């Protein structure tokens, strides 16, 4: 299944085996062997193909017929499952590293999804403000140093 999917994705992009090999650092022979099922990819190679074609390893391996990567993440807060964008999920994970914020999420009982997303947006806004203030205060470096 992997070889068939790889071949389909390559052709869909209008790439020859030579072009794909060149872009990903393989030989044309390796690509041909993958497509013909004579060679199986290791984990890193499989991930490289998935990233290049913006798909999932499950799709490449034939475990799903949906080639689209999952662009959202679900979290559970106060017993409610909430769908977040990848950006929101990243910020949520960052916030959960801080014990005081983690506790705060569990105190949300009503309108949980709205409140969680507002907290994520607020956290991201504050983080950007702090970075901006640091840049203004300290500049982009220490300037010229004298010996």
* Domain boundaries, position 109: 73-138
Same domain, 80 and 134: yes
- Residue 104 CA to residue 92 CA, distance in Å, equals 12
Does a structural domain hold residue 144? Answer: no
Does a structural domain hold residue 66? Answer: no
Same domain, 57 and 78: no
Cβ(77)–Cβ(106) below 8 Å: yes
Does a structural domain hold residue 127? Answer: yes
- Residue 134 CA to residue 66 CA, distance in Å, equals 44
pTM of the model: 0.48
Q: What CATH number does the domain containing 26 carry?
A: 1.10.260.40
How many residues in total does the chain contain?
Answer: 147
Does a structural domain hold residue 146? Answer: no
Same domain, 113 and 89: yes
Nearest of 43, 66, 46 to residue 6 by alpha carbon: 46
Does a structural domain hold residue 67? Answer: no
pLDDT the model gives residue 102: 64
Mean pLDDT, consecutive 10-residue stretches, the chain (147 aa), reads 91 91 92 92 89 85 75 70 77 74 64 78 84 67 52
Nearest of 107, 1, 97, 105 to residue 46 by alpha carbon: 1
pLDDT the model gives residue 6: 93
Cβ(99)–Cβ(70) below 8 Å: no
pLDDT the model gives residue 34: 92
Neighbours of 8 (CB within 10 A): 13
Same domain, 21 and 77: no
Does a structural domain hold residue 145? Answer: no
Same domain, 47 and 93: no
pLDDT the model gives residue 104: 67
């Amino acid at each position: 299944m992997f070889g068939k999917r790889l071949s389909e994705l390559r052709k869909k992009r209008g790439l020859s085996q030579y072009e794909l090999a060149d872009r990903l650092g393989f030989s044309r022979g390796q690509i041909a062997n993958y497509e013909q099922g004579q060679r199986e990819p290791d984990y890193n190679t499989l991930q490289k193909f998935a990233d290049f074609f913006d798909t999932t390893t499950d799709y490449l391996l034939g475990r799903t017929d949906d080639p689209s990567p999952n662009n959202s993440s679900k979290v559970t807060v106060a017993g409610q499952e909430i769908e977040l964008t990848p950006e929101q999920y990243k910020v949520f994970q960052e916030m959960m590293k801080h014990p005081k914020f983690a506790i705060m999420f569990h105190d949300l009982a009503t309108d949980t999804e709205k409140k969680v997303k507002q907290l994520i947006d607020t956290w991201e806004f504050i983080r950007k403000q702090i970075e901006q203030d640091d840049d203004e205060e300290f500049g982009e470096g220490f300037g010229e140093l004298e010996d």
